[in-house]
Amino acid sequence: MNLRFTRRAALALAGAAAFGRPGRARAEGEPLRIAYQKSSVNLMVVRERRLLEARLPGTPLKWVEFPAGPQILEALSVGGVDFGFTGDTPPVFAQAAGKDLWYVGLEPPKPASSAILVPRDSSIRTLADLKGKRVGLQKGSSAHYLIVRGVAKAGLQWSDITPLYLTPSDARAAFERGALDAWGIWDPYYASAEIDAHARVLSTGQGLSSNNSFYLASRALTQQPATVKALLDAISEADAWVHANQTETAKFIAAASGLPLAATVRFIERRTSGPVQHLAPSDIADQQRVADAFTNLNLIPKPLKVADIVWQPRKA
């Protein structure tokens, strides 16, 4: 699985050479390239039910899968894809690195869909017990912020834990062989670990992180507001369909992702539903708290103003 993801990521990054420099508008006939991951339920349903084809007739579509948000935004920033889905933290790291990308939409918060997990028989019972422990997470992912918040809530310093930066599949393997004491992860990997690896939940995101999910676009795509609107409308349609067809969705996600059906059922059941919205001032403030947390820990090189890369369609 890792090799497959690596190859896909490499192909997406190589797309910069094939499709031109970042910021260049797509020429007529070039595909609209959409990046997704296993947690991108709505985008997967948009693809499966062909909800974009009627809204963007004649526009070829190319769908590219990645293991997590950081890889998606790297591809987006170099022109390998045009549009993608990610959690709260990857855009912060991308902005800190000077990547040219824009927040264009937001799903409802999903704090129950991420968790800090420990082995079933672990002696770790509270967040404070993470002191001195090896904690797995995808660097720059929503799980990174979840662990940052968990450490702070416990009254610990970041230096009190040993973070091990691993992709979800590598972290799962390390967790199962006892190389991790705890693991910060999101659904559907979280649900799969609960069911198949008998992981115990130390804490969900409740009270720690809103676990917001964002849609981001290239600068060139934001210059095509009708296309962005078509994407967001299709995603909202998909979300309504998912809410009304949870069992069918879980079966589809299991078949498409290779995850066990029991895991995708749990994933869909606890997932918050609602239409995609443009970012409101309160959403920007919430995301600014994410950025400030990483700034305060010197985990990103400079302070950020999240509002600087929030797309305002009325100005497009």
Do 250 and 104 share a structural domain?
yes
**What is the rounded CA–CA span in Å between residue 59 and residue 251?**
29
Percent of the chain with pLDDT over 70: 90
SS3 130: helix
Do 288 and 143 share a structural domain?
no
**What is the rounded CA–CA span in Å between residue 301 and residue 299?**
7
Q: Tell me which of 204, 235, 262 is where a domain ends.
A: 204
The tokens of 40 are what? 């991108």
Global pTM value? 0.84
**What is the rounded CA–CA span in Å between residue 300 and residue 195?**
35
How confident is residue 27, by pLDDT bands cut at 50, 70 and 90?
A: low
Do 145 and 11 share a structural domain?
no
pLDDT at 171 over 90: yes
Q: Tell me which of 162, 181, 204 is where a domain ends.
A: 204
Do 57 and 23 share a structural domain?
yes
**What is the rounded CA–CA span in Å between residue 261 and residue 232?**
28
Do 88 and 35 share a structural domain?
yes
pLDDT tens per residue across span 193-240: 999 888 999 999 999 998 999 999 999 999 999 999 999 999 999 999
**What is the rounded CA–CA span in Å between residue 290 and residue 83?**
22
- Predicted confidence at residue 25, as pLDDT, reads 56
Answer yes or no: are the C-beta atoms of 158 and 151 closer than 8 Å: yes
pLDDT at 180 over 80: yes
Indicate the length of the chain as a whole number: 316
**What is the rounded CA–CA span in Å between residue 182 and residue 47?**
34
Do 241 and 103 share a structural domain?
yes
Do 217 and 105 share a structural domain?
yes
Average pLDDT over all residues of the chain: 89
Closest CA to 185 of 125, 212, 145: 145
Number of domains the chain is built from: 2
Do 160 and 13 share a structural domain?
no
**What is the rounded CA–CA span in Å between residue 16 and residue 5?**
18
The values of phi and psi at residue 277, to 5°, are: -125, 155
DSSP E strand boundaries for 198-282: 200-204, 214-218
Range of 152's domain?
A: 111-204
Task: List the CATH number of the domain containing 94.
Answer: 3.40.190.10
182-186 and 101-106 as β-strands: parallel, antiparallel, unpaired?
A: unpaired
Rounded to 5°, angle at Cα 95 from 312 and 306: 45
Percent of the chain with pLDDT over 90: 78
Answer yes or no: are the C-beta atoms of 90 and 69 closer than 8 Å: yes
Do 83 and 164 share a structural domain?
no
Least confident of 19-28, 84-93, 152-161, 292-301: 19-28
pLDDT (average), residues 4-11: 40
Do 134 and 282 share a structural domain?
no
Strand partners, 36: 65
**What is the rounded CA–CA span in Å between residue 171 and residue 223?**
38
DSSP state of 264: H
pLDDT at 128 over 90: yes
pLDDT at 36 over 50: yes
Answer yes or no: are the C-beta atoms of 114 and 201 closer than 8 Å: no
Do 194 and 48 share a structural domain?
no
Do 97 and 244 share a structural domain?
yes
Q: Tell me which of 204, 224, 246 is where a domain ends.
A: 204
Q: Which helix (H) or strand (E) holds 286?
A: helix 281-296
pLDDT (average), residues 37-61: 93
Tokens 């310093």 found at: 157
